[in-house]
Structure 1
């Protein structure tokens, strides 16, 4: 790190001033009852500083285990290794140049290098240390680190100019600027590279900074209207949901930032306006945004930072003294932009997300979407993707509070904050604090809406849109009628009343088909109800699909759902015998999660019950099948597996229940409720290659014209616009 470059000091006077300021702070904290918390906040920086001072006389503090580090899955703290023992994994054709500017402090540099050696990324790297003429007698030790590129300057440049000069020697596609008083945790570099690759509109991405004990130092930065800044999440528990989703940030601390070498060069590196140091990282973030790119925070990139080692902590001494002056330079340069920011400490949720002119949409469902397990999850996930594509900031509240592993992280990496246990239980405290900053609410399912609506109306003025998935009462009624179950009929009537109560209490109702929306309008004429595209699929495969090697028929569904259980039983008992009369060896695959014992009991030598399969395995099965089937006898709404089957290009035969909400689908697929006719339509597709090819192409064209993310986004935009125009009395 660079040499202090302050005006000539008056040591005695400066020391006395610092002690007086510290005494005043301690007195104020004591009188306010805040001495304990304030000292705990400063514990790690103070210990790190003491460790550094001891290292200068050959001593070190013992490395202390931390329960939080263990909870976070971070490796144990290491002792300082010998330079010769560090084995960096480097490449002659690096993707990333890890650039570490230093000014002495060899022990910390060795710890930093050792972390890179102990946990090498999958991404090819080179490691470049730029030593800025500190005069430290131990610098030659770094020459003994195998694989390290060491730049030793004869003249001190200062931190900012040292970084700019060192970047000229970078050979990677990306540069990772890294303070030497850091330790890079496993996966951090790979996560940063993946973020830049996944977000071509991002100019820079930064890591989460942690203290050595695992507590948070910074989860991205907030710059307020007056130019002051927050290290967001400072000294808080890093497992809180507020810090664990990818998001835009005002700035990322220069202790651990990555950007492409092309962007770095286009920006001209750090601006010399801020020589020798401080605020150059914030200014770079503002300039990147001014060039039309985003600055992102990636929580999965974890870096331990021994705060205060590089420049100290006293803003009246040494290099740290430039922090105050450069903050004023930043404010003067970016005053028009900062005018859009919030006053210090206000609207924190919006400030951390840079939601100055973007809408925040709160989506509430029963649980986290599991899109590989059920159709409703696919719809809700697609809704959130469409809202994000339209420029909205999306936040998700699972009513059951569960942070389902894998599915939680998938949403967070999409940039969606998830409110889950144990941090968020009841919704009231969150809405009390943040309800006024929520612009829109999307509720999913009747029981979820019934539980949340009163609180939302109490604390939010946002328009509320309800998505019903299907007309629950209609599905329940059809099932009850099919089984001649009077008790189930009464339950269906109760559900009708519950659904009608929800419709009346929200600002707009959405269902996956216009038929269902029309039924809502018939039952409740004053309620605005619209049909919406319920699924968004990528463009279907173009050109003829291969027929060679295809065999068998497949029914894909979630077999924990009673309509699908009934459909499987009807298929096996009434339709398959008719087909096997002509094709005795015809195989049937019942593919899908949670098969009941009734479904498992259908398995035999020619009937396979798979249980849950991955998306990749499902794609393989579609590619091997000759015909897909949807033999539903009751249900409601547009069926995801029907749309998915059409999209696969494998010709589909279905019942009228399966065809619900799909206008004119009978022109591209077989639709019948008669078992004999159903079997005959399947037989034709098994035997007629020309018919098979014609249906395959027609089905894919049908889906491509209707089920797109753009169509879904347009419909959601229209829905919220209509909901926002509803009379204020509905929001009382």
Structure 2
């Protein structure tokens, strides 16, 4: 008996009473291949699920009957299903050969092999097809398999050195973080796998040495990898599988008996690969499920999941995460607030990062006790986060500990106190200085975004290890060949941050009157997330306060602006808004605080110290087309030479290495 059904949303389908109408195409991207041998109820429910949740991708559906002796006439399914190609083998070929025969009939770019004892959940086909379309380096992908009772059947498979297999996550909660990020796997169950048709044909299909079934999917995955392609588990694709209905569960009889025989064949054929790249057994499960025998594993901790379109700190952390993934590291991310973000968490999971939020209920100490021995490095972001989580990190210390400071917080706070004359703020700055020094002494390495900050910290703690990284990187840079018309001035910032709020007030109250005196047509855009009440109150006929905008909208604002400005009066570290303006090629006016940490910037543009200086430089950019073009080109060249994705990656990996 199959397990009792769970409360799926939408619910699992019963055997349909009426006809099933599939939305198929004569020019399919995906060929859905369903081998059958009896079990009409399961087949009909499988087909009904495809009809109920039709993919966006164009599909064809091939139902291949392996000469089931109790029904020799295909009209039974043909009368109940419209849109499928119902084909019957002339004689019984067995599961594996039936799949190969169906593949020869397929016309799609991708082949989706689907057991008949399955039901698709919404989006299952598109998730796999979209991945293959986006990632030409991936040859085969497959679904998360769940039981009808809602428990997990498999989140990708592990093969040990003796060629025995492990269904990762079996009978666990499929919602847990470790089962919900995209990752390379040893194999994916053939119950729901998608492979490029040309690759399948090049490899000769499933190897008939494994006939009639078992290990053919595992051997195929190994051959895909040997051919230079990835085999990747895609958790967005969810398929309910009534395991055992296709071949039974008795290892001593029937088709299932071939499982043990074919395991020996697998071990013999792939002995060198298994011995070199695989683990002996479950004692190494933590590294095995990430294929981490020769890869480093890092735990990255920050206050919440990065929101790179909302704040500069998130942008720098995303740069770190991309650098790690791009360098082949296995990345785990621990948000201090333990919150799952429906917008930002899936972005990390699609990058291949396990996000350890509230879906995994244990605290950091418990997680480290279970998994910490597998870590090579821990990177903790921000002093407040490091202070709170330092005790469990030290209690379970096995890995190298790195502190990512973002900026010298005490320096920023001290500058604000000097500007405002606030004695309480000055005391808070001194307290933060002691906290940061304590972090430097506790961690193996402390990382900052400029050499200038590293030098300052090293003077305070000369015995500690400090390293600088390139904080921002881009894949493309804007080369502007024509002057942008108009008189729009753009200031981009997250306005909940006190330095940015102060800069906006200073810009509107002190600088803009000087600009408007000579260019009454000038207009100011304050663009960025979380504008404070004081910033919102600046809105007028001259000043527009937008609030949060998407990256696409931000690009439009840059493209429509004549000048950019970063009028910071206090702060610390390299400013993302400055680097972004350089990369966009929109002439930048900047203060000494805004320019801080960017070596060579004064060589390409003036540093404006006073309101008068800022206004004069903005007016020059509004009035002088030749100066505008010269600065635009200089900025783009400067950014391209210093702030590429590759520059970030190299600096991050160098900072984390012992």
TM-score, length-scaled by structure 1: 0.88
Aligned residue among 47, 66, 71 for 2:2: 47
Aligned residue among 344, 347, 353 for 2:290: 353
Aligned counterparts of 1:616 and 1:349: Cα–Cα separation in 2: 39
Aligned counterparts of 1:395 and 1:219: Cα–Cα separation in 2: 17
1:100 aligns with 2:40: no
Aligned counterparts of 1:717 and 1:595: Cα–Cα separation in 2: 35
Aligned residue among 76, 95, 98 for 1:141: 76
The 5-angstrom pairing of residues 645-684 of structure 1 reads 645-684=581-620
Aligned counterparts of 1:66 and 1:154: Cα–Cα separation in 2: 39
1:278 aligns with 2:214: yes
1:547 aligns with 2:474: no
The 5-angstrom pairing of residues 584-595 of structure 1 reads 584-595=520-531
Provide the residue aligned with 1:170 in structure 2. 106
Aligned counterparts of 2:330 and 2:310: Cα–Cα separation in 1: 26
Provide the residue aligned with 1:30 in structure 2. none
TM-aligned CA deviation for residue 484 of structure 1: 0.2
Which segment is superposed worse, 421-430 or 282-291?
Answer: 421-430
Which segment is superposed worse, 664-673 or 366-375?
Answer: 664-673
- Mapped contact 1:99–1:167 kept (Cα < 8 A): yes
The 5-angstrom pairing of residues 316-715 of structure 1 reads 316-339=252-275, 340-542=277-479, 544-715=480-651
Aligned counterparts of 1:572 and 1:87: Cα–Cα separation in 2: 63
Aligned counterparts of 1:465 and 1:707: Cα–Cα separation in 2: 23
**Secondary structure at 1:620's aligned position in 2?**
helix
1:86 aligns with 2:23: no
- Mapped contact 1:444–1:469 kept (Cα < 8 A): yes
1:116 aligns with 2:71: no
Provide the residue aligned with 1:209 in structure 2. 145
Are residues 127 and 407 of structure 1, via their aligned partners in 2, closer, same or farther at CA, if it must alter by over 3 Å?
A: same
**Secondary structure at 1:718's aligned position in 2?**
helix
- Mapped contact 2:12–2:119 kept (Cα < 8 A): no
Provide the residue aligned with 1:302 in structure 2. 238
TM-aligned CA deviation for residue 457 of structure 1: 3.0
Provide the residue aligned with 2:184 in structure 1. 248
- Structure 1: gaps of 5 or more residues: 1-45, 49-63, 725-732
Aligned counterparts of 1:591 and 1:155: Cα–Cα separation in 2: 69
- Structure 2: gaps of 5 or more residues: none
1:188 aligns with 2:151: no
Tell me the alpha carbon deviations over residues 19-51 of structure 1, each in whole angstroms, 9 at most, x when there is no partner.
xxxxxxxxxxxxxxxxxxxxxxxxxxx236xxx
TM-aligned CA deviation for residue 317 of structure 1: 1.3
TM-aligned CA deviation for residue 545 of structure 1: 4.0
TM-score, length-scaled by structure 2: 0.97
Aligned counterparts of 1:425 and 1:400: Cα–Cα separation in 2: 13
Aligned counterparts of 1:163 and 1:520: Cα–Cα separation in 2: 64
Which segment is superposed worse, 544-553 or 113-122?
Answer: 544-553
- Mapped contact 1:104–1:139 kept (Cα < 8 A): no
Pick the structure with greater CA Rg. Answer: 1
CA RMSD of aligned residues (A): 1.4
Provide the residue aligned with 1:129 in structure 2. 63
TM-aligned CA deviation for residue 195 of structure 1: 1.4
Which segment is superposed worse, 677-686 or 193-202?
Answer: 193-202
Aligned counterparts of 2:452 and 2:224: Cα–Cα separation in 1: 49
TM-aligned CA deviation for residue 549 of structure 1: 4.4
**Secondary structure at 2:186's aligned position in 1?**
coil
Aligned counterparts of 2:12 and 2:210: Cα–Cα separation in 1: 34
- Mapped contact 1:438–1:460 kept (Cα < 8 A): no
- Mapped contact 2:514–2:612 kept (Cα < 8 A): yes
Aligned counterparts of 2:202 and 2:605: Cα–Cα separation in 1: 54
Aligned residue among 115, 118, 135 for 1:179: 115
- Mapped contact 2:5–2:148 kept (Cα < 8 A): no
Runs of 4+ in 1 over 6 A off after TM superposition: none
**Secondary structure at 2:87's aligned position in 1?**
strand
Aligned counterparts of 2:5 and 2:291: Cα–Cα separation in 1: 37
- Mapped contact 1:102–1:132 kept (Cα < 8 A): yes
Tell me the alpha carbon deviations over residues 465-496 of structure 1, each in whole angstroms, 9 at most, x when there is no partner.
21100000000000011000111101100000
TM-aligned CA deviation for residue 548 of structure 1: 4.9
Number of corresponding residues: 655
Provide the residue aligned with 1:5 in structure 2. none
- Mapped contact 2:313–2:406 kept (Cα < 8 A): yes
- Mapped contact 1:401–1:425 kept (Cα < 8 A): no
1:66 aligns with 2:2: no
- Mapped contact 1:91–1:124 kept (Cα < 8 A): yes
